[in-house]
Amino acid sequence: MNWHPDATDQDRDPLAVENAIFEAALQVSDRRQRAEFLDRVFRGDPAGRQAMEDLLGMAGSSAAFFLEGKLRTAELAREVIDEAPDDWQSQPDPVAAKGEQVGETIGRYRLVRKIGEGGCGEIFEAHQSGMVRPVALKIIRRGMDTESVVSRFEAERHALELMEHPNIARVIDAGRTPRGRPYFAMELVRGTKITSFCDAQGLGIRDRIELFLKVCQAIQHAHQKGIVHRDIKPSNILVENVDGASVPKVIDFGIAKAMEGGLRVRKEITVFDQFLGTPAYMSPEQIDMGGMDVDTRADIYSLGALLYELLAGCPPFDTDELLEAGITEMRRVLIEENPPLPSERVTAGEGPRWQGVTPSAREKWANQIRRELDWIVFKSMEKERNRRYLTVNSLTMDLRRFLNNEPVIARKPSRRYLMRKFFQRNRIACLLSGAVLVSLIAGFGTTTVLYLREREAMAEQARLKRKTQARANVSRAAILLSEGSVEEADRLLRTNPLETIDASPEAAEVFRALGRWNAIFSRWQQAAHCFHLMNDANRLGDKVRMAEEVDLLMAAPAYLEAGDRDAYREFRADVLERFVPAQNSLQAEHLLKVCLLLPADDEIIRRLESTVDACRAGHPTRSGIHGFPDWNALSLSLFYLRKSDLSRAVREAETCLSYPDRAGSRVAAARCVLAMSYYRMGLPDQAHQHLDEARSDLHWVESQIDESGFPPIGTWFAWSVVRILVREAEGMMGM
């Protein structure tokens, strides 16, 4: 094989040189010129020439074959062309190599300024003769000057002219420059890419989804016209401000399709843009089939990847890492691996968007996208395209359901599906393991079944015995409680696990009494456990009675006094599900108080809005007892504190203070609300004054508790609420 005289063994690896010759030969479409090129390169090496001919023949029908080359191959391919003898191919025009310049006129367009450059070509702002509105003129690099390529541009332009949509940047014209380079004249969009726009404007999740839905409408319009974009990514969706409204514009529609197979450039990312798309947003079938048999579902995958980045702050896959790994590893990752869920990415704080953001703020964002939005993204980015949304409209409708708080179609993948995918990836290992497992089951099956049946029978017998004993203990404990022997009743029930006791009104009464008794003596762990079992038993009772009496008021502070915040949050979620909305003022006052002992997120605040209205209305209860305005004012002040409406929180707390309070617990709780509100309003002196008074009242009550365990005045659970709020205020003020 011959080579240019300046080349040495130290300069080039032989295998890389052969790859470069292969790439160079592929770029010669004329068979006669290709034969002349090979004759000169392989002069004196007929065996090498024949091997290269065979290799070129095998490459004719395999798209994946072209993608398996190294990055260096494309560079050396140009060296082969440049260093080959002059007479095998015409040399490029040195004037044309300089490219177009500002001020030139191309057809009907005068170049005003250069606004972009990439591996595919250059983009200029241009003015059309006789028109005021500027256009974007994209001029493709050398190598796209054949008649067949220009004819593809023309056919693509006619297809794109069918699209008339406010969120699609139209392709206006196409042609060829005087130097023979194809160009597109497109609508000029003066905007920023959608992800940068959302971050710069500080858009929330709902606003980001609304913007994304406009993009979906544009893509659906294109699909209805029979056009697939195939390169949806943030840089191809620009957002501009039109009359005060944010308008996304999808650009480069169909250009990747028009360029397919006709451009070879140096930048590896452009090669992927050309053949398939951008790796981080590219559907598995685009890389698995080399761009063949790609339909509208590829765009749905890319839309899912775009939604992923809008929600998580980073793309599902890192493009640089994919490119560094090479095409084989990239194919494996895109075809087999799923990225972390968007909510998991947010919680982990991955990506520059979350730098400097507190964990609590990240968790608040993650909570809003966890579950439904995670599932919607996952369904859009399914590896099997038959499992994705069938149309962009289906994706749009599911997002609308989410915004309207309606059930979405997307669901978390089942275990059966995940196991099937694992089996497909590890077929041989699974078959071997299955064969071993079948052998073991066949050998020990009979013995195992008999042993398990015996154990099951013994366990069932022991369970029935415990349940019988537990029922007897509950009846005995009820008698002891009626006689005032609370301690003996508590000791009796501890002889059996409390969980074995069947739920019943009698059991609920026993647990209520034992929970209250343990709470009075500050045995908070035992009290919280009893109240938990009381709540389970109360499910058989009247919901109205439960919401209007003190069961909920005792259980909520008991969990927090025991230090079990997770148990309190589960209890709060159960209360919201079972009792909201409230039916009257008394229920509303109780529900607000038990649900807001800890800070609440926006979803909880939203669900309690109707309860606030009922609390303020003061309608009579079913039992004829009117709501108490003094306690209602305290619950309302707590709601507005959690909502961060501090001025209204102060107003309601001051109203609460205006009512006389013989016990003092209500006033002390209101002072805690005032302390936290004033502190957040930047009034630390007033805040410390109210907190000191609340602490003073609490310390006096605690110092007066005798051996009975009861506070000298008021109820134990009301003073527990004060203690919980005092701790929160002290933590807020750094005391």
Task: Lowest mean pLDDT of 372-381, 498-507, 586-595, name the range.
Answer: 498-507
Q: What CATH architecture does domain 102-188 belong to?
A: 2-Layer Sandwich (3.30)
* Catalytic residue selected from 6, 13, 54, 231: 231
State pLDDT tens for residues 25-48: 766 667 777 787 787 777 777 877
pLDDT at 546 over 50: yes
Cβ contact 677:649 at 8 Å: yes
| Closest to 67 measured CA to CA, from 322, 415, 380 | 322
What's the pLDDT band for 692 if we cut at 50, 70, 90? Answer: very high
Percent of the chain with pLDDT over 70: 72
At 352-406, the pLDDT tens digits run: 888 888 999 999 999 999 989 999 999 999 998 888 999 999 999 999 999 998 8
Average model confidence (pLDDT) for the chain?
Answer: 78
The pLDDT tens digits for 430-479 are 778 777 777 777 767 677 777 777 777 777 666 656 666 566 666 666 66
From the options 3.40.228.10, 1.25.40.80, 1.10.510.10, 3.40.50.720, give the CATH code of 191-405.
1.10.510.10
Residues 221, 222, 224: CA angle, nearest 5 degrees: 65
Q: How high is the pLDDT of residue 467?
A: 61
pLDDT at 254 over 80: no
Torsion over CA of 253, 258, 261 and 263, rounded to 10 degrees? -80
pLDDT at 277: 65
Where is 109: in which H helix or E strand? strand 109-117
652 vs 632: CA distance, rounded Å: 9
CB 171 within 8 A of CB 181: no
pLDDT at 644 over 90: yes
Name the band, by pLDDT with cuts 50, 70 and 90, for residue 531.
confident
Q: Which residue has the higher pLDDT, 671 or 484?
A: 671
Predicted confidence (pLDDT) at residue 4 exceeds the cutoff of 60 = no
Give residue 157's pLDDT.
65
Least confident span in 115-119, 225-229, 516-520: 115-119
Quick one: average pLDDT of 274-287? 76
Task: Give 273's contacts (C-beta < 8 A, 6+ positions apart).
Answer: 119, 120, 231, 256
| Domain covering 519-733, topology | 1.25.40
The domain limits of the chain are: 14-91, 102-188, 191-405, 519-733
What pLDDT does 241 receive?
86
Q: How many CA atoms are closer than 13 Å to the CA of 83, on its beta-carbon side?
A: 16
The backbone torsions φ and ψ at residue 691, rounded to the nearest 5 degrees and listed phi first, read -65, -40
Name the pTM for this structure: 0.47
Q: What is the pLDDT of residue 263?
A: 37
Is 551 an annotated catalytic residue? no
Q: Which residue has the tokens 């006689």?
A: 483
What is the structure's pLDDT at 696? 94
Q: Which residue has the higher pLDDT, 499 or 638?
A: 638
Q: How confident is the model at residue 491, as a pLDDT?
A: 67
According to the model, what pLDDT value does residue 147 have? Answer: 61
Ordered DSSP codes for 629-680: HHHHHHHHHHHHHHTT-HHHHHHHHHHHHHS--SS-HHHHHHHHHHHHHHHH
Give the C-alpha separation, 610 to 621, whole Å: 16
Amino acid at 474: V
% of residues, the chain, pLDDT over 90: 33
pLDDT per residue as tens digits for the range 114-172: 887 755 678 899 998 877 678 988 887 665 555 655 665 665 666 667 788 889 888 88
